[in-house]
Structure 1
Amino acid sequence: MAGNLPALFSRLGRWPGGQWLFTRLVCLRAPYFGSIGPRITALRPGLCEGHFADRRAVHNHIGTVHAIALCNLAELVMGLLVDAATPADMRWIPKGMQVEYLKKAQGRIHARAWLPAPLHSSPAGYEVAVPVELGNPAGEIVCRATITCWISPRPR
């Protein structure tokens, strides 16, 4: 399914409710992401975007969006991006995440992940650092994350 993600997103996205259906399919495959009620809004080579609504289920004790909900969305958009970009003879796994919380997160949160360079096949594994920015409705960046992935050959 990995190499076909952008094509599936594009095909479903042409129909009313297509982005919702695509996101539901992703959340069926990886159920924890469903806890934030995400919606993927863009998936193409080198870029993935998504958002979730500001609702009580994603709040912390002070009424703002919880830090882990932000991390969850960051990992979702990064994961779809890397999954779609990983060559068929390679596999990936997240290795680490660095996060900066820049201001209180309120309102609908939008995340954008991009690849600094295309992923490639290699006889040895390698790391890729994927930047993700999360913003509020005013366009202000409320959180930045860098998620490091380990890309390695699939076992034969």
Structure 2
Amino acid sequence: MSASNPLKKFVEKVNQYPAPISAFLMTKVFRHKVKLAGTTSIDVVATDGQQVEYRMKNRKKVQNHIGSVHAAAMALLAESATGFIVGINLPGDKLPLIKCMNLNYVKRATGDMKAVAELTDEQIKLLCEQEKGEINVQVKVTDETGIEPVVCEMIWAWVPKRS
């Protein structure tokens, strides 16, 4: 029997509210727990427990020298989305850890950024059943024109929490 996950319970509860309220509440909690995400004003748009959508507006504080979202901010967006979807699907007695971030910047970004991360049914089953392991979490980062300026590979591991 796997341990209860308070983050998953929270997401399930707030998803009962209308979408704007749900997104607002998840964003507030996420920014509170992940301080850098609060600094960069990452928004949680929505999640169904298997997929999550995050957004980052192209504000001055996340821009590079040419006025687009900085490469490090795009990496944070992808890592945040994948970490959230892993975090809500792990049993409460497991700890998620980013193991590898491979990012290939292939085009110049324009405007606001969006990241959509998702897990397969098989991956969720692994997270729930294996004491420790790792998975490659799919994430697509796009700009406001719909292009994918960065191609990401995010490998997440999990281990038992220490008592």
**Fold-level match, TM-score > 0.5?**
yes
Residues 11, 26 of structure 2: 8 Å contact kept: no
Paired position in structure 1 for 2:137:
130
The runs of 5 or more residues in structure 1 that have no matched partner are: none
- Bigger share in helix: 2
Q: Please state how far the C-alpha of 1:155 moved relative to its aligned partner.
A: 3.8
Per-residue displacement from partner, 1:28-54 (whole Å, max 9, x unpaired)? 111111122111112122211111111
Q: 2:104 aligns with which of 96, 100, 106?
A: 100
Which SS does the other structure have where 1:151 is aligned? strand
2:9 pairs, out of 4, 7, 25, with 4
Q: Are the structure 2 counterparts of residues 137 and 120 from structure 1 closer, same or farther at C-alpha, using a change threshold of 3 Å?
A: same
* Distance in 1, Cα, partners of 2:10 & 2:98: 18
Which residues of 2 match residues 112-151 of structure 1 at below 5 A? 112-116=116-120, 117-118=123-124, 119-123=127-131, 125-151=132-158
3-state DSSP of counterpart to 2:80: helix
Q: Give the aligned residue type for 1:111.
A: A
Gaps of 5+ in 2: 1-5
For the 8 Å contact 1:111–1:134, the answer to whether it is kept is yes
Report 1:15-34 matches (<5 A): 16-34=20-38
Normalization by structure 1: what TM-score?
A: 0.88
User: What amino acid maps onto 2:156 in structure 1?
Assistant: C
Does the C-alpha gap of structure 1 residues 120 and 9 become closer, same or farther in structure 2, counting only changes over 3 Å? same
Q: TM-score under structure 2 normalisation?
A: 0.84
Shift of 1:5: 4.1
CA RMSD of aligned residues (A): 1.9
Q: Match of 1:4, as an amino acid?
A: K
Contact kept in structure 1, 2:79 and 2:154, CA below 8 Å: yes
Deviation at 1:16, TM superposition (A): 4.6
Q: Distance in 2 between matches of 1:8 and 1:120?
A: 20
3-state DSSP class of the match of 1:135? Answer: strand
Q: Percent identity?
A: 25
Whichever residue aligns with residue 66 of structure 1, its letter is H
Compared with structure 1, are the counterparts of its residues 80 and 140 closer, same or farther at alpha carbon in structure 2 (3 Å cutoff)? same
Task: List, as ranges, runs of 4+ consecutive aligned residues in structure 1 with deviation greater than 4 Å.
Answer: none
In structure 1, the partner of 2:50 is 46
How many corresponding residue pairs? 154
**Contact 1:121/1:153 (CA < 8 Å) preserved in 2?**
no
